[in-house]
Structure 1
């Protein structure tokens, strides 16, 4: 019965698709549906996207292979559902009376507005797309736009036309013909600037002009040249100058296909009563900078009661001044005695806004009435303070590589201007409960992960050091200092941890879209609260040890019963391991099993020991992304981190004794020592029509030395998961070709490459095809397994490859994502069985994620 129902459903679906596939269903008689546009330039077909963007009419959108899904959905809709509903009663008059006996007449009428009769058709019309009918008026407009488009590229004699090719079944194809003729080139460039001061400024940057002799005429270059000249003038005192004050005289008569350009800048035109007058442009100086520190729209008539002068800045307040003068003046780039400059206004606004203690500032300029030459400006800066105290509570639903779902709440209090130096102090708490299938969960609890903690952060809007850093990091880079301490306790039905952190971090912006971060120190102390639960969490380690134990163990205190002979956790596992490794080989383990037990014990000790990390790091990031809508950009991030070196230098200086392992200790704990570096590069290409090709590459390596022979678990790398290689679950890939024999596989070197083709499916529904490659390896540490170790170029053969497809729904503020990953190349499989051996849905991995992976 189930098979018959499935077949019936399939036949119905096929029938609906066949009915909808009549793409001319809604095309009236005498009309044609536009199915294709072609543009030929000098008899050659072009694919230039900007040229096609000039067209007023474009064919119906389509998916892959040209299937017009939205058109077919629209064709499924009943355009007049009300009439259809009423027609059913007109054909069967007694039906209305029968239905009215069970339902009231009003309910029968309302049934016609239900989703079944009406709403489903409204939905299909909304998500669908009506057929694009050929419109000769719009085609003519397209021809004119194409003419202007090529005219602006220097083809002044361009000829344009179009032809319509009729295809059967009411379809039409339009071909636009462009004959560009010869382009025009810039032959000469001269200027006519009537204001001598502006002419002198122009000559300073004359070589930077965007209009160059010998180059083809482009209208966009003239527009950008206007902006360049205007920006240069306004950054050097020309307060009243605007791009509209610039015009170009272009002479194309003198020579064939040559254009002589004259840049014309006339005097300043202004209105004096009822008449217009002209005068040379003036260059203005700043004569005073007035800062109103507690401005409000309803306080404009209140008297100023407190004021002070600090380094040629005048600060005013209606009440007692609440800020140390330097805290505000450090953010002001507009200074007395310097020329007016637009860029200083922008920098000042940006820095003041970055203080986070004021609302968006207002900066106004007024003529100085005391200056008889009328060339001085008073800069007035109006600052509206935010509330000193603010409270916030955030509720968040999260997802990570090892946590399917988590719910967190984070209350916080922010105190602004806490020390009267524009500092911001934030005290926050957090509590999280979550669910993870990757953790030991003997009671089968849904919420098996929890964490709570508190953080204290102090943000200082400058570099906080006992010496000046202005020459290295000028205030134009908007530096800040963050001091933070935190404590957290994590319970995950596993080892459970307490985490104590402390950091001093400096942030600045060297250039636009570029950020730098220097962690003077970042200290972390991790204490395992439940180390005896290790073998309940890391079940694969237990299974390997238990198998060996069954072969060698004869001590009844170590196993559960005489039949199963499973090692008891914790007494049996620790007893057997100690006797096997440190009992003089009384159990007679062979070399292979002895090494296996030793490796299991070393991993257990590493993952259960407390960690103390004292690191210094530098991070540099750069992006060309302009805004959220920018789909063609790159991002680059690099980081270098050194841990333990300062402590080792200090230990050597004071000649601190070493412990039995030959390592130094602090607080009776061996601290970690390593150097770590990362490179991360992301590139997006906008392929137009809402198609994007995205690429990411990552390389990271952490090398232990000195006081350590391995990397702390929290600083190591793993592979797999929704933001990594999506054909493997988190921690389930690698290291190398070892086959992920542990529960949480990690290593100290990682390579990751991902490519993703993103496209629109329907409305806010998006799709993606992707390929992820990469793996992790051990290198220069205490791991000796050849399969897990990177030994050179030949180890790159162990790079795993996963591929798949994804479905996404764009909610504007975030993207909900589902990705299906398939193991394409698995380096852990035997030779000859690495490719496409598990390439099926049964072995696929479904990843849920928030926002794009890169």
Structure 2
């Protein structure tokens, strides 16, 4: 298909008749200035065919389709007298007829037309309609005397035409005076109290959009100050402009009219004056839509609420009172209705919350009826997955979760989940064939901020959807890496003042990680083993005192550390296993070098072995991480279709300070390095902060430009001189720098030193241009920059550390393209990344050294990377 498209790309006029023109360009000139605003260009009826980087892909796909495949097939079939007869003898007459409906004969052309795009043929009727829309648009901006015309350029390219829409604006009309005519005294008072914030001001240029926004503003004010039934249609504007006066005196007078409430009956329309209403009775029906609707209702009164129920009363009245923001005798507010609906939904124990208002017989009062339908008390969920990776030949995962709603009658929801994964390991990496991983979690959510002895509702109001979560979980791995066992518990809070902001605090986040098989380190981290074995290669020639090689110095005491590998000449260091009789070759060799047991030691070996040993200890030591953190999220996105927005996330985390402070009161044990121990494990102490900013620009016709910037740093201090592996940063992967695999980029200008490269400082910058291809298939072109570094920790390798602004030259750059298929509920993504700038190479070979398909990286992901 790509070859066919390339052959036809030069013939975009294939389906344009001789007396027709293909529209290839639209230009809008306003007072001789070219307008690029997409909102203005959207007013044009005949838009040019869509293009991918200037190439009309969909048009050329459409041109590949045969115009009349049925007729062409019949002509081909009857072109030779015996062709149809021969085919009938082979296939049968019915099959020959059905061949004309096959995909290759007809279906391909139909498919190409569906995913393609017909040529946009110039139609002057549509051009004139576009002029009328442009004129109306500039009328709405106050240019009532604008004049429009168009010109067609059909001489530059044969069979193609460009249309110039030429608009002369003239002088705009300005608002000269403002007056008002308001029927209701209540509304009149509210209007003048808020008139200072009006969007329509004397001396401003006329803009119809401001009048629309002003109507919305006033409606919101009135409906939040007791005018429950106020209708936006009651607001009108009389606009008077003098078209006779001289052109330099283009002014207009504005009169605001706010009429009475209009009610439509069966055969007539009545009006009544708008009045301020107050809340009278508040009734809550907790068993609405229940199967026992005919059962007698009991009631209980709590503060301003009268709560009706049938059977057992299953919820605490205070919980409902905290979720309902109407108060007796208070002025009606739309805001209270919105907040009540939002909070009742957030409780996750009711479905279809419905709030209905009824006028009370008492003047200017309204009764509130709230209907709630309870959700099932128990919900069971299951999941099943099949996975494969370079470490696992195949894995099968199963999980189940149970949700128990309203467990303590205060909208507390208890969730219990368990999951397990079992499968086969890669025998090239692991000695074991099978692996397993099982885990479970228990969490309790309740709709308030729980903090002992403090009434938090005065600080965090109930309308912000406050929630507290207490969770505890554990997992066990078998034959995976070092066979980790983890235990974690969380006490956290979150609240959302509105739909665009969210706060989250984890007062306690405790994670304990125990490595069961620490002696497996060199079996799992093969790159680190190869580094150590390469150092050991310098000593294996001096093991036998009867064969001293080039030196009289021999190290027979090292002989037991090595083993001969079949098919190789050089012995290799023995990796310890679970057998207590197996020599611990790697461990013994490391100790011999660091303790100076062998002499002389070749240059730089002590430093290199020391680094390897530090990494081994860090990745095999048990971790106790005792943190407190705060996260703030903000975005201004209005719905999933909004592609012109930003989102910002900030997080700060502190670990170990509480334990460090407690150690001043209660003495803790210490290890040989002076680290304080809790349960015989040194606790981590660090401060960590992150900034994440994403910006989307809606360009045109579903084309989107998206950018992301991320900065994170974690600084160890006190009881730690490095960051735990589980809290450090890595670079590469489907949501990061897509030209590198996860954990394979950095730190700094190092090149794949370890199997899992990580550090405590990260910078990431991403830019992606997204565009539609055809149907539900979209494309993207991207550039990813960034890296990780070590800073303020125990890593001394200058190639891996951040040493000021000069280290920014170690930022890696990857670029590439991708495909996305939209399944509505999720998006499946393929990205192909190329190493554009690789800081791990020598300076003269960093740019475009591996920029080819052989060294590209295919990333598979779900949904957009950011």
What's 1:660 paired with? 672
Match of 2:506 among 519, 526, 530: 519
Relative to structure 1, the CA distance from residue 268 to residue 808 in structure 2 (aligned partners, 3 Å threshold; closer, same or farther) is: closer
For normalisation by structure 2, the TM-score amounts to 0.92
Matches within 5 A, 1:682-721: 682-721=694-733
Cα displacement (A) at 1:238: 0.4
Moved more, 159-168 or 285-294: 159-168
Instruction: Choose the corresponding residue for 2:561, options 550, 558, 562.
Output: 558
Aligned partner of 2:446 in structure 1 is 460
1:451 lines up with 2:437 in the alignment: yes
Per the alignment, residue 231 of structure 1 pairs with 220
**Secondary structure in structure 1 of the residue aligned to 2:429:** coil
Mean CA deviation greater in 670-679 or 723-732: 723-732
Distance 1:79 1:271, change over 3 A: closer
Distance 2:268 2:73 in 1: 70
TM-superposed deviation, 1:435: 9.6
Match of residue 532, structure 2, among 529, 536, 545: 545
Q: 1:408 to 1:150 in 2, by over 3 A?
A: farther
Shift in Å, 1:795 = 2.0
**Partner of residue 185, structure 1:** 174
Name the CA shift for 1:638/1:403 in 2 (closer, same or farther; >3 Å): farther
Which residue is equivalent to 2:129?
141
Q: Does 1:572 align with 2:558?
A: no
- How far, CA to CA, are the matches of 1:444 and 1:99 in structure 2? 60
CA distance in 2, matches of 1:454, 1:654: 33
Mapped pair 1:289 → 2:282: yes
Q: What corresponds to 1:82 in structure 2?
A: 70
CA distance in 2 between partners of 1:401 and 1:463 (Å): 45
Give yes or no for the alignment of 1:242 onto 2:242.
no
2:406 aligned residue: 417
> What does residue 376 of structure 2 align with?
387
Partners in 1 of 2:658 and 2:638 — Cα distance?
A: 40
242-251 vs 527-536, greater mean Cα deviation: 527-536
The whole-number CA distance in structure 2 between the counterparts of 1:354 and 1:659 is: 48
Pair 1:382–1:440, CA change in 2 (3 A): farther
8 Å CA contact 2:669, 2:678 repeated in 1: no
Distance of aligned partners of 1:31 and 1:739 in 2 relative to their CA distance in 1, 3 Å threshold: closer
Sort the Cα spacing of 1:402 and 1:778 in 2 relative to 1 into closer, same or farther, 3 A: farther
State the alpha-carbon separation in 2 of the partners of residues 218 and 75 from structure 1. Answer: 44
Residue of structure 1 aligned with 2:56, choices 65, 68, 73: 68
Deviation by residue 1:142-193 (Cα, 9 ceiling, x = unmatched):
1211111111111111112223333464333222221111111122222211
Asked if the contact 1:77–1:122 (Cα under 8 Å) also holds between the matched residues in 2, the reply is yes
Asked if 2 retains the 8 angstrom alpha-carbon contact of 1:401 and 1:730, the reply is no
Question: Which residue is 1:23 aligned to?
Answer: 12
1:261 is paired with a residue whose SS is strand
8 Å CA contact 2:420–2:437 kept in 1: the answer is: yes
Unaligned runs of 5+ in 2: 540-554, 577-583
Matched, 1:266 2:259: yes
Change (3 A) 1:663 1:442: closer
Aligned counterparts of 1:778 and 1:59: Cα–Cα separation in 2: 52
What is the rounded CA distance, in whole Å, between the counterparts of 1:297 and 1:580 in structure 2? 77
1:479 maps to 2:471 = no
2:542 corresponds to which residue? none
Other-structure match for 2:21:
32
State yes or no: 1:470 paired with 2:453.
Answer: no
Residue of structure 1 equivalent to 2:543: none
Contact 1:748 1:776 in 2 (8 A): yes
Q: Is the 8 A contact 2:838 2:847 kept in 1?
A: yes
Give the drift of 1:722.
Answer: 1.6
Residue 341 (structure 1) aligned with residue 333 (structure 2) = yes
Aligned pairs for 1:777-796 within 5 A: 777-796=789-808
Q: Is the 8 A contact 1:663 1:670 kept in 2?
A: yes
Q: Which moved more, 1:703-712 or 1:798-807?
A: 798-807
> 1:435-477 deviations in whole A, cap 9, x for unaligned?
999x9735798xx875331111111011122321012111111
Alignment CA distance shift 1:732-1:671 (3 Å): same
Find the aligned partners of 2:129 and 2:679 in 1 and give their Cα distance: 79
Q: How does 1:633-648 map to 2 (within 5 A)?
A: 633-648=645-660
Preserved CA contact (<8 Å) 2:200 2:210: yes
Q: 1:818 to 1:13 in 2, by over 3 A?
A: closer
User: Alpha carbons of 1:573 and 1:272: their partners in 2 closer, same or farther (altered >3 Å)?
Assistant: closer
Q: Which residue of 1 aligns with 2:634?
A: 622
The 5 A counterparts of 1:368-407 are 368-369=360-361, 371=362, 373=363, 375-395=364-384
TM-score by length of 1: 0.93
Aligned positions of 1:589-628 closer than 5 A: 589-590=601-602, 592-628=604-640
Distance between the aligned counterparts of 1:732 and 1:701, measured in 2? 19
After superposition, what is the alpha-carbon deviation per residue over 1:681-718, rounded to whole angstroms, capped at 9, x for unaligned? Answer: 11111111222221111111111111111111000111
Q: Which runs of 5+ in 1 are unaligned?
A: 1-11
SS in 1 for 2:78: helix
Contact 1:734 1:777 in 2 (8 A): yes
Q: 2:162 aligned with 1:173, yes or no? A: yes
Secondary structure at the aligned position of 1:359 is classed as strand
Distance 1:110 1:238 in 2: 69
Moved more, 772-781 or 652-661: 652-661
Measured at CA, do residues 155 and 751 of structure 1 come closer, stay the same or move farther in structure 2, by a change above 3 Å?
Answer: same
Contact 1:366–1:377 (CA<8 Å) still a contact in 2? yes
In the alignment, is residue 44 of structure 1 matched against residue 30 of structure 2?
no
Measured in 1, the distance between the counterparts of 2:807 and 2:619 equals 26
Q: 1:451 to 1:776 in 2, by over 3 A?
A: same
Contact 1:816 1:851 in 2 (8 A): yes
- Matched positions, count: 834
CA contact (8 A) 1:402 1:730 kept: no
Aligned counterparts of 1:839 and 1:504: Cα–Cα separation in 2: 48
Whether the 8 Å contact between 2:383 and 2:399 is mirrored in structure 1 is yes
Deviation at 1:106? 1.7
Distance (Å, rounded) in 2 between the aligned partners of 1:739 and 1:481? 44
Q: Whole-Å Cα distance in 2 between the matches of residues 556 and 149 of structure 1?
A: 89
**By how many angstroms is 1:768 displaced?**
2.2
Matched, 1:441 2:429: yes
Give the whole-Å Cα distance in 2 for the aligned partners of 1:388 and 1:428: 16
Give the secondary structure class of the aligned counterpart of 1:361: strand
SS at match of 1:146: helix
| Secondary structure, counterpart of 2:323 in structure 1 | coil
- Judge which range, 409-418 or 501-510, deviates more: 409-418
Residue 822 of structure 1, CA deviation = 2.2
Aligned match of 1:129: 117
Q: Matched residues in 1 for 2:317 and 2:773: separation?
A: 57
d(CA) in 1 for partners of 2:690, 2:403 = 34
Question: How far off is 1:755 after superposition?
Answer: 1.5
In the alignment, is residue 358 of structure 1 matched against residue 346 of structure 2?
A: no
Distance 2:107 2:424 in 1: 38
> What's the offset of the Cα at 1:491?
4.6
Distance 1:417 1:493, change over 3 A: closer
Contact 2:668 2:678 in 1 (8 A): no
Q: What's the CA shift for 1:403? A: 9.2
| 2:90 is the alignment partner of 1:102 | yes
Report the CA distance shift for 1:730/1:546 in structure 2 as closer, same or farther (over 3 A): same
d(CA) in 2 for partners of 1:403, 1:48: 53
Q: Distance in 2 between matches of 1:118 and 1:779?
A: 64
CA positional deviation for 1:765: 2.7
